[in-house]
């Protein structure tokens, strides 16, 4: 793609101002931001205030009818990701969809199939691959500082009622594990190479009765190489765990939500402890790769197939919670 890449956002809702953030990152990467669609006329007005030169639409089919738009960014509630992504791909657009990719493996397969048929890019906005702590941990692992990773614990939670909207409504969000769980699972799958043999899930919904999202979710992954990863995302975490506790054959890593990670590693028979500073988060780097990929200069960093694995693990964890036994995620069948 040699010409200027033009982009549009579907969904300019007020939640975290993500529509505005995506537009800003697009422009920073050299994409010409030309349009917004939102069913709320007030949000279209807000978008026009933020970016006076754009066009706005209330119906995304009108936006997709434009032949001059190369890239669609879907920033909608989780339950709408698949429908709008497939329609955008069928309209001949490249697509970035916010995480989580969708709510089921069946939806993921439909989205990937639509991208293949259209010959267009489909990527998921796993922006947190550019978080400073994740990059510091990954480099420490890749550099062999702690040997072979065999155990991972990670956690996100507090003790309070889930937030309003999709944060508490399972029909919109897919459930508790689809929020921060999607980020953590993407991180885990990049820390540990190879397939996942099984997933065991524990889901609890007994306290926050006004919410249909689960109160507490846990997914335990057993990898083919023997590594075990234990992820907890909870609204019942009155005694919080650190964000990361990772064990390897030569040492380990702990990290919370600060600006350093702590590495403890064997050094001539003694355990040496040192902190590694984390770089600043750089979510705009995601869009730099998108532009480079569309121009044929770099491979795509976040593929739809990678994101499908995350959805398959969440799906297996929920099934395991119902059956009471370990389940094999769909991507490994």
- Dihedral sign of CA atoms 38, 185, 244, 137 in order: negative
**The pairing of beta strand 32-37 with beta strand 6-10:** parallel
Give the C-alpha separation, 259 to 277, whole Å. 6
Residue 40 has pLDDT above 70, yes or no: yes
pLDDT, mean of residues 37-44: 96
Q: Which of 332, 316, 277 is nearest to 199 (CA)?
A: 316
Confidence check: pLDDT of 272 > 60 = yes
Strands (DSSP E) contained in 146-250 are 149-157, 196-204, 216-223, 228-234, 244-248
User: What does the pLDDT average to over 289-301?
Assistant: 97
pLDDT score of 1 more than 70: no
| DSSP 8-state class, residue 327 | B
Confidence label for 15 from pLDDT (cuts 50, 70 and 90): confident
Pick from 139, 223, 231: nearest CA to 182: 231
What is the percent of the chain with per-residue pLDDT over 90, rounded to a whole number? Answer: 89
Q: What pLDDT, on a 0 to 100 scale, did the predictor assign at position 270?
A: 86
pLDDT of residue 39 exceeding 60: yes
Pairing of strands 251-255, 32-37: unpaired
In this structure, the strands spanning 71-74 and 94-98 are: parallel
Residues linked to residue 43 through DSSP beta bridges, in sequence order: none
Once rounded to an integer, what is the mean pLDDT over residues 133-158?
97
Q: How far apart are CA 197 and CA 221, in angstroms?
A: 8
In which band, very low, low, confident or very high, does the pLDDT at 332 lie, cut at 50, 70 and 90? low
Closest CA to 231 of 159, 152, 161, 174: 152
Torsion sign over Cα 192, 193, 197, 203 = positive
For the residues 32-36, what does the mean pLDDT come to? 98
Q: Tell me the whole-structure pTM to 2 decimals.
A: 0.95
Span 150-167, average pLDDT: 88
Check residue 170 and give its pLDDT: 92
Does residue 188 have a pLDDT over 70?
yes
Chain segment 163-176, per-residue pLDDT in tens: 777 778 899 999 99
Tell me the average pLDDT across 191-210. 93
Q: Taking all residues of the chain, what is their mean pLDDT, rounded to a whole number?
A: 95
Average pLDDT over residues 86-105: 98
Q: Which residue has the higher pLDDT, 16 or 245?
A: 245
pLDDT digits (tens, 9 = 90+) for 220-259: 999 999 999 999 999 999 998 999 999 999 999 999 999 9
């Amino acid at each position: 793609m040699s010409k200027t890449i033009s982009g549009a956002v579907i969904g300019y809702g007020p939640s975290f101002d993500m529509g505005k953030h995506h537009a800003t990152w697009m422009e920073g990467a050299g994409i010409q931001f030309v349009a917004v669609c939102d069913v709320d006329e007030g949000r279209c007005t807000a978008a026009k205030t933020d970016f006076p030169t754009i066009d706005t639409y209330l119906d995304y089919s009108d936006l997709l009818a434009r032949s001059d738009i190369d890239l669609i960014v879907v920033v909608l509630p989780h339950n709408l990701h698949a429908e709008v992504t497939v329609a955008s791909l069928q309209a001949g657009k490249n697509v970035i969809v916010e995480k989580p990719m969708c709510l089921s493996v069946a939806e993921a397969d439909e989205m990937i199939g639509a991208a293949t048929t259209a010959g267009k890019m489909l990527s998921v906005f796993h922006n947190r691959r550019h978080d400073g702590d994740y990059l510091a941990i990954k480099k420490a692992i890749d550099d062999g500082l702690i040997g072979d990773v065999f155990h991972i614990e990670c956690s996100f939670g507090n003790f309070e009622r889930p937030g309003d909207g999709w944060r508490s409504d399972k029909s919109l969000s897919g459930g508790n594990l689809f929020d921060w769980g999607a980020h953590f699972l993407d991180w885990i799958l990049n820390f540990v190479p190879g397939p996942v043999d099984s997933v065991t899930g524990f889901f609890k919904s007994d306290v926050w009765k006004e919410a249909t999202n689960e109160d507490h979710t846990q997914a335990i992954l057993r990898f083919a190489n023997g590594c075990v990863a234990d992820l907890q995302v909870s609204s019942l975490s009155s005694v919080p765990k650190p964000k990361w506790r990772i064990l390897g054959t030569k040492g380990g890593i702990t990290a919370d939500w600060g600006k350093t990670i702590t590495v403890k590693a064997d050094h001539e028979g003694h355990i040496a402890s040192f902190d590694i500073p984390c770089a600043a988060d750089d979510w705009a780097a995601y869009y730099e790769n998108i532009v480079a990929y569309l121009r044929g200069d770099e491979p795509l960093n976040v593929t739809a197939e990678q994101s499908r694995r995350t959805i398959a693990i969440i799906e297996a964890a929920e099934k395991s919670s119902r059956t009471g036994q370990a389940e094999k995620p769909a991507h490994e069948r």
